[in-house]
Structure 1
Amino acid sequence: MTLSFLDNEMEAAEKILLDVSEQLREVVMATKWQWQQKELAVELDTEPARIMADPKLLQQVWMNVFTNAMHYTEAGGSIFIRCRDEKNKIAILIADTGVGIAVEDINHLFERFYKADKARVRSHESTGLGLSIVKRIIDLHGGSIEVDSELGNGTRFTVFLPKE
């Protein structure tokens, strides 16, 4: 349903001036019990970064990418979140020390229903839609997303959003 909305009704989205760094802080606090229970170290390094965006949609991006990082990082691992206000864009990095993603899977991550690690994803009841929703929301905001990963050495998602 979310993808249908994003495909057909984005003009109904309500863009307001918001601070992305504050949204990231909210996501970290909202999931605190999950990452603490798993004994993950979470480091948040942000600076004020204001853009015109739909807050509900962007909140979904951060929640999805951050919870994926939690799911695929072993107990005792780390997640690092950085937000920087650059000249004409906002750069958001969410990096983990998790299991990583195989090179052959990276180009397919944003496809609907794609599951890079079929065995692990099943244990998390994933539909394979989360990252396609993330990509669509970022596209609708005029941004881009990059993935850098190596099996056994974690994953880095970097989102770039234009300042309007």
Structure 2
Amino acid sequence: MRKEFISNISHDIHLLLPPAPFDQEAHILKVGEYNVDRQIRRLIHSYEWKIDLNNLMLSHDILDVEITADGALLDTVWDNLLSNALKYNSTFAEVEIELMEHKNEITVSFKDTGVGMDVAVKQHVFERIYREDTANSQRTRDSGLGLSIVHKVVFLHRGGIDVESNQNDQGSTFTVMLPKR
């Protein structure tokens, strides 16, 4: 019943607030040079209390990388992805962050060893107000908007996002690809 209600509300909101074309939204970006690794390191530092509280192991491989982008909006992306990796993980689990630089783009991956998600959930995970209806998702309080915001911000930067996941406590990996300029 709850799932049906959320589905109906989500459908109604989509009718009221249709997504705008890219060219109508691109102007909201405040683009400048910024250091991605510094931003992610600050974010990790701000979540140390939660990592310690849940006895999680966080490892990272973060290269020194500068790109041209909206740092404030991308901070929202990294914050959401790390927050989800911590939130949907179990005690004594692991989170791994990797920032890699390629010729024309960077990739940032957030990998956890949490509950994972099945194929049906992966198909909807970037939709507005979508939340998987499981015991784990019911213990957490969130709006179901986070990953849709992540998707939109990455799209505005002409990037992409991919999710790899398996249910059965295999965890999830979210990888963001962004152009360097």
TM-score w.r.t. length of structure 2 = 0.84
The superposition leaves residues 7-65 of structure 1 with CA deviations (integer Å, 9 ceiling, x where unpaired) of: 56541321111111111111110111011100100001111121111111000000001
The one-letter code sitting in structure 2 at the alignment partner of 1:59 is D
Instruction: Pick one of 135, 148, 160 that aligns with 1:132.
Output: 148
SS at structure 1 position matched to 2:124: coil
The answer (yes or no) to whether the contact 2:25–2:156 under 8 Å persists in 1 is no
**Residues 1:37 and 2:40 aligned together:** no
Please give the residue correspondences for 1:5-154 in structure 2 after superposition, counting only pairs within 5 Å.
10-151=26-167, 152-154=169-171
Give the % identical residues.
Answer: 34
Contact 1:14–1:54, Cα closer than 8 Å, also in 2: yes
Structure 1 stretch displaced more, 7-16 or 127-136: 7-16
What secondary structure is seen at the aligned counterpart in 1 of 2:155? Answer: helix
Distance 2:134 2:150 in 1: 20
CA distance in 2, matches of 1:91, 1:9: 23
Distance 2:133 2:39 in 1: 29
RMSD: 1.6
> Any runs of at least 4 consecutive aligned residues in structure 1 with deviations exceeding 4 A, and if so which?
6-10
Aligned residues: 160
| Matched letter for residue 162 of structure 1 | P
Structure 1 or 2, whichever has the larger Rg, is 2
Ranges in structure 1 where 5+ consecutive residues have no aligned partner:
none
Length-normalised TM-score, structure 1: 0.92
Give the C-alpha shift of residue 107 in structure 1.
1.2
